[in-house]
Structure 1
Amino acid sequence: MALTPPRQQLAGRIGALLGIFLMALSLRAAVVSVPPLLGSIGPELGFNSFSTGLLAMLAPVVFAAFGLLTPRLIRWWGLEKVLITAVLLAVAGQLLRAVVGDVSSFLLLSVITLAGYGMGNVVLPPLVKKYFPDYLAIVTSGYVTMLAVGTWMAPQFSVPLSDATGDWRTSIAAWALLSAVVLVPWVIQIQRNRKHPRPDTPLVNGLAAAPPARINPWKSPVAWGLAIFLAGNSAQTYVYFTWLPPYLSEQGLDTATAGSMLALFAILGLPVSLLVPLWVPKLRNPIVAVLVFTAFWIAGHLGMYLSPAENTLLWVVFAGLGQGTFGIALLMMNLRSRSTYGSGVLAGFSQGLGYAGAAIAPLLFGIVKDATGGWSASFAMLGLCLLVMLTGAVMINGPRRIEDRKGDVETFGELERVN
């Protein structure tokens, strides 16, 4: 039976859909698969407190740097070529750091790995907008869910894989295979694009939009608002990933229980990842959803501070559900842009500055704790992070797009290069 045009178009995007989901699944593996193995990696390579702390800071710092660089690469090379480059960097970095014998080389190759994933972070939202403008909510829900699954999967299976093979290096290298699989659907999709090229001019409300001009995000309130929102959200998440186990251990919980609480926090990103993209686009004011998830964050922070050893599970559940604000941030990269290029610029700028601002939070959390001799001032920092996040939420609540505001766009005569 012949396919109708919409179904025919959808069939032609299966490769892109698989590629987006597989890329999302692999994005966090390089970050969260290593910490559980540090007990084995550290003594062999010579990690100390400083190098361990440096490793923890690499992800947000490298994500920030490549968040700002990637929109330019997208304009030069196109979305698909940037994604292929990102995957190749990630695979090479992971494979090579599995064979090194010293800390410096491991850290350098981690930078290369994270550079690939940093580019992948930025390129995913515009890929969704390019291939699935008619299914934005559903596809975003799917890929944010894959992010959550990958965040849970890598630390969950890294140690068992290492134990089964008797070598942490095999476990590290195995995650490179997951990244390599991403290449398969995208090679197929690129070949299809050459035979059936997609139009360069984006559609806005079903009408052909003007050719995309060069966008200056530094002058855009939307871009600044999303960067501020993402910084406040990510700062809280990084603090929990870094400090939740040692904090709970200090409060009297055993190491295994503290680790389980972190795993619970991570996996709770899954249900909210499914909910946010399906719910938020229906809201006239997205800040309503932000306030709901902010309430969860507040309940989690207060419970964790006031009664960490009692009802710990409940407080972790509240904080974990608060991660819905991250899903909102990813969704806004497409809801607050009109073109694939605009989405790429918004994703790169907001993630670049957002991760840069969030990178310092776990470090300050520990410094403040040591300086004050207690956790009160450190938890007060989380309150400041909430205020920062809400400030950004107010800035992106209106229906403005990054391309809309006069003065945001400079004339730049070439068409967006999407292939």
Structure 2
Amino acid sequence: MASEEIRTATSTPIRSSAGTGADSETPSTRAWRTRLVVVGIVLTALNLRPAITSLGALLEEVRDGLGMSGSVAGLLTSVPPLCFAVFGVMAPRLARRFGAAAVVGAGMVAITAGLVIRPYAGGTAGFLAASALALMGIAVSNVLMPVIVKRWFPDRVGSMTGLYSMALALGTSAAAAVTVPLTDALGGSWQSGLAVWAGLAAAAVLPWIPLVRARGGAGGSHGFGSSEAAGGSHGLGSSEAAAAAAPQEADGLRITRSRTAWALAVFFGLQATAAYITMGWMAQIFRDAGVAAGTAGLLLAVTMVMGVPLAFVIPRLATRLPHQGPIAVVLGACGLAGYAGLYFAPAAGAWAWALLLGVSNCAFPLALTMVGMRARTGAGVAKLSAFAQSTGYLISIPGPLLVGVLYQHSGGWGLPIALMAGLMIPQIVVGIVAGRNRTVEEEAAR
């Protein structure tokens, strides 16, 4: 599988230094593997947010059931970025050792187990521990999805990033929209309403099993070395000679020397702060404004579902522009307008604010697309993805927690919403910097 993971159905095969014999595969076999990867990418993306948004829809019930204060609930909404930062940095090393497909497949197993255990763990500590297990699986998959796209589809980074971003948004919005109705249909138990999403995660394990088995039979390198790293460097006009040098080039890449890498990390962190505050608290903002629980869940779903079409359009547009900064400005302006609406008329214009914040949250697929564009090689993408996401999620940890503290001690949503709006300004600025047409390899070399 080591050499198969670097091809699209139409790309020219690169001979593996391991001599696995994969070059003798028929075009139909390669096409079948490529289709299987597409299915795996889509199913994996569908599972990267339901563990979070399903909890956001039932946060009040979970708080009451576990006896949480507002500050503890804020800590609960900070757990996702903490886990993404801690576990996401491990993803490239795990992928070098076991292969990206194996790590993503194991991530889906971890999500399944965590979602099954979490509602029935008993007490806040058990709930947090099981949530961390599921979030660990999400974290490694978050980091490796751009790597898999770059490796398998080097000439279609924008469209494939759009596809899995769209699937991610669909899974996010579906969990927000149907968790409350599902809970009612299952007898009103919030435990059942949260556990039901384990079934979707279990389905996402299946496509990766034959890919991992084929990889084991190939007997090639397990990591980013040899053919895998070479294959990842096809994209964005690099030559086969550059591809052959990719492993050595990536090994010496000092990612922290790149201003673009830091700008992208901060941009990722600020958009993640906004996203997790939205997923964790927006339904509660509407409920406190007098909106019914079911309607509040639908409003959160509307915010999330905006990412379905825009997550496909934005990456394709971004790859056609020499500078992605203007997109970051438009998305930030929508966020500022949405927060202003939540502050002044949360119930009266609820649907409009949900739409505007949904557009603003599409900074996530923009960030993922820029990860693929700001590195020249596949191994460079892996390093940049791990750095930007791990650093970014570390930056995002205090946001949801601070919102919970401000909400509890101020007795309202004025200060938390002002905080959210204030963070949108630096997000726009670093988005402009990260969108410049340059690569981290070039900057690190200087």
TM class, shorter-length: 0.7 to 0.9
Kindly provide the amino acid, as one letter, of the partner of residue 392 in structure 2: G
Identity value in percent: 29
Contact residue 246 and residue 377 of structure 2 kept, 8 A: no
Distance 1:160 1:249, change over 3 A: closer
Q: Identify the range of structure 1 (330-339 vs 396-405) with the bigger mean alpha-carbon deviation.
A: 396-405
Contact residue 57 and residue 283 of structure 2 kept, 8 A: no
1:306 and 2:344 are equivalent in the alignment:
yes
Deviations 1:276-297 (A, max 9, x none): 1121111111112112222212
Q: Identify the range of structure 1 (111-120 vs 263-272) with the bigger mean alpha-carbon deviation.
A: 263-272
1:102 to 101, 123, 126: 123
Cross-structure match for 2:246: 211
User: Residues of 1 paired with 2:56 and 2:125: CA distance?
Assistant: 17
How do 1:324-339 and structure 2 match up within 5 A? 324-339=362-377
1:199 and 2:227 are equivalent in the alignment:
yes
Q: Identify the range of structure 1 (224-233 vs 5-14) with the bigger mean alpha-carbon deviation.
A: 5-14
Distance 1:143 1:381, change over 3 A: same
Q: Identify the range of structure 1 (79-88 vs 37-46) with the bigger mean alpha-carbon deviation.
A: 37-46
Cross-structure match for 1:81: 102
* Secondary structure, counterpart of 2:443 in structure 1: coil
Deviations 1:41-87 (A, max 9, x none): 55555545454333222111111111222223223333122212222
Give, in angstroms, the shift of residue 137 of structure 1: 1.6
1:356 and 2:384 are equivalent in the alignment:
no
Q: Identify the range of structure 1 (355-364 vs 245-254) with the bigger mean alpha-carbon deviation.
A: 245-254
User: Residues of 1 paired with 2:417 and 2:47: CA distance?
Assistant: 32
Kindly provide the amino acid, as one letter, of the partner of residue 148 in structure 1: A
Q: Identify the range of structure 1 (100-109 vs 34-43) with the bigger mean alpha-carbon deviation.
A: 34-43
Give, in angstroms, the shift of residue 129 of structure 1: 0.6
Cross-structure match for 2:199: 177
Distance 1:98 1:375, change over 3 A: closer
Cross-structure match for 2:269: 231
User: Residues of 1 paired with 2:157 and 2:219: CA distance?
Assistant: 22
Contact residue 94 and residue 103 of structure 2 kept, 8 A: yes
Cross-structure match for 1:136: 157
Cross-structure match for 1:53: 74
Cross-structure match for 1:417: none
How do 1:20-419 and structure 2 match up within 5 A? 20-38=41-59, 41=62, 45-166=66-187, 167-193=189-215, 194-195=217-218, 199-200=227-228, 201-202=230-231, 203-204=233-234, 205-208=237-240, 209=242, 210-212=245-247, 213-214=250-251, 215-368=253-406, 377-407=415-445
Give, in angstroms, the shift of residue 224 of structure 1: 0.8
User: Residues of 1 paired with 2:38 and 2:119: CA distance?
Assistant: 30
**What TM-score results when the alignment is normalised by the length of structure 1?**
0.86
Contact residue 67 and residue 347 of structure 1 kept, 8 A: no
Contact residue 29 and residue 150 of structure 1 kept, 8 A: yes
Cross-structure match for 2:6: none
Contact residue 75 and residue 341 of structure 1 kept, 8 A: no
Give, in angstroms, the shift of residue 265 of structure 1: 1.4
Contact residue 13 and residue 189 of structure 1 kept, 8 A: no
Deviations 1:265-284 (A, max 9, x none): 12222221121112111111
Distance 1:161 1:17, change over 3 A: same
Contact residue 183 and residue 193 of structure 2 kept, 8 A: yes
Q: Identify the range of structure 1 (113-122 vs 92-101) with the bigger mean alpha-carbon deviation.
A: 92-101
Give, in angstroms, the shift of residue 104 of structure 1: 1.9
Q: Identify the range of structure 1 (317-326 vs 158-167) with the bigger mean alpha-carbon deviation.
A: 158-167
Q: Identify the range of structure 1 (238-247 vs 132-141) with the bigger mean alpha-carbon deviation.
A: 238-247
**What TM-score results when the alignment is normalised by the length of structure 2?**
0.82
User: Residues of 2 paired with 1:232 and 1:101: CA distance?
Assistant: 33
Cross-structure match for 2:4: none
Q: Identify the range of structure 1 (378-387 vs 330-339) with the bigger mean alpha-carbon deviation.
A: 378-387
Deviations 1:219-275 (A, max 9, x none): 222221111111222222223333333434444545444443222212222221121
User: Residues of 1 paired with 2:335 and 2:183: CA distance?
Assistant: 34
Unaligned runs of 5+ in 2: 1-8, 12-26, 221-225
Contact residue 83 and residue 132 of structure 2 kept, 8 A: yes
User: Residues of 2 paired with 1:157 and 1:164: CA distance?
Assistant: 10
Distance 1:253 1:92, change over 3 A: closer
Aligned length: 405
Contact residue 227 and residue 392 of structure 1 kept, 8 A: no
Distance 1:196 1:98, change over 3 A: same
Kindly provide the amino acid, as one letter, of the partner of residue 172 in structure 1: L
User: Residues of 1 paired with 2:115 and 2:421: CA distance?
Assistant: 36
Distance 1:45 1:318, change over 3 A: closer
Distance 1:27 1:243, change over 3 A: closer
User: Residues of 2 paired with 1:341 and 1:187: CA distance?
Assistant: 24
User: Residues of 2 paired with 1:141 and 1:277: CA distance?
Assistant: 6
User: Residues of 1 paired with 2:136 and 2:440: CA distance?
Assistant: 25
Distance 1:68 1:36, change over 3 A: same
Kindly provide the amino acid, as one letter, of the partner of residue 423 in structure 2: C
